[in-house]
Amino acid sequence: MSRWNWIGAGLALLALAAAFAAGGHPGLYLNLAGFAIVAAGTAGAALLSYPLGDLRAAWRVARNALTVEPPGGDAIVETLMDLSVRSRRDGILALEAAGDQSTVSFLKRALDLLVDGYRGAELREILYTEMEYFRLRRTHHERIFRHLARLAPAFGVAGSVVGLIGMLGGIGDPEVIVRMIPIALTSTLYGILAANFLFVPLAECIHAKTRRELLAQKLISDGVLAIASEHNTLRLQKKLESFLTPAERPRPVASLEELRERYRRLREQEEARTQGRQEAEAQG
């Protein structure tokens, strides 16, 4: 999520709180018993539905979906173009150092497989299998939050029933009725808010990030397979740009000449450092 997403969510939350306060007696919206019914019921049903490890993994994925942005498609295209130039100049083995420096785990694994000698159909099968199981894992985590979104309102209704039963039990005592009415009303409110302001947004956030990451993985897979086949770099650029949205394509992607010049300077710097070390060793 971007900074503007957080700002928008914060403003919406403030507006919601202001609406509660504007109705007078904001303390009436806080009820520990109603919150406990919804929270305990939802948590208990979730633990009966999924192993604890799955629930922890789902929360970790949700946290990463909110805080970590995957690389953009244009950045991946430029990286793959640079790798293509490097492999054509110095061979496939030259990509090992690039894989060690990469912060994208899927790209690092793809380059490791390429350096280890996997080619063609075998390389494609490994990468596409990893993509498929990544999609299945993310779908499972998304399903967990959608299940929680169904549970919370149901236990909110259960809290309302508890409050109504308490009111019937104290039908002759106004103090009991006044004490039980907030439980009957706030538990439903808590369930609706938990479902629609927490669990559904988290599920949608995971879904959206999964789509972006799968697109990045598809880009990387096709790019690495093209590098393994030693395709022309310009053709590779045109092929990979077809994955980008119309809004991303006009962004300046480094030309082939710029990539070659950048790589030439990088090699000169590496050779200068190597020569300096050799001279220092000779003097020592």
Residue 176 has pLDDT above 80, yes or no: no
Check residue 38 and give its pLDDT.
Answer: 94
Residue 77 has pLDDT above 90, yes or no: no
Residue 250 has pLDDT above 60, yes or no: no
As a whole-number percent, the residues of the chain with pLDDT over 90 amount to: 32
Residue 198 has pLDDT above 70, yes or no: yes
Residue 90 has pLDDT above 50, yes or no: yes
Residue 94 has pLDDT above 90, yes or no: no
The per-residue pLDDT for range 107-164, each reduced to its tens digit, is 888 888 888 888 888 889 999 999 999 999 999 999 999 999 999 999 999 999 988 8
Highest mean pLDDT: which range of 13-22, 130-139, 245-254: 130-139
pTM of structure:
0.77
Nearest to 229 by CA among 73, 84, 82, 81: 84
Block residue for tokens 């130039």: 85
Higher-pLDDT residue of 145 and 252 is: 145
Check residue 256 and give its pLDDT.
Answer: 56
SS3 250: coil
Sorting pLDDT into bands at 50, 70 and 90, what band is 192?
very high
Alpha carbon separation from 231 to 77, 81, 85, 95, 253 (Å, rounded):
15, 11, 11, 16, 19
Helix H segments across the chain?
A: 3-22, 32-49, 52-67, 73-90, 95-101, 105-115, 120-169, 174-194, 200-228, 233-241, 256-283
CA 17 from centre of chain: 29
Check residue 226 and give its pLDDT.
Answer: 83
Q: CA 39 to CA 37: how far, in whole Å? A: 6
Average pLDDT value for residue range 30-56: 94
Residue 48 has pLDDT above 70, yes or no: yes
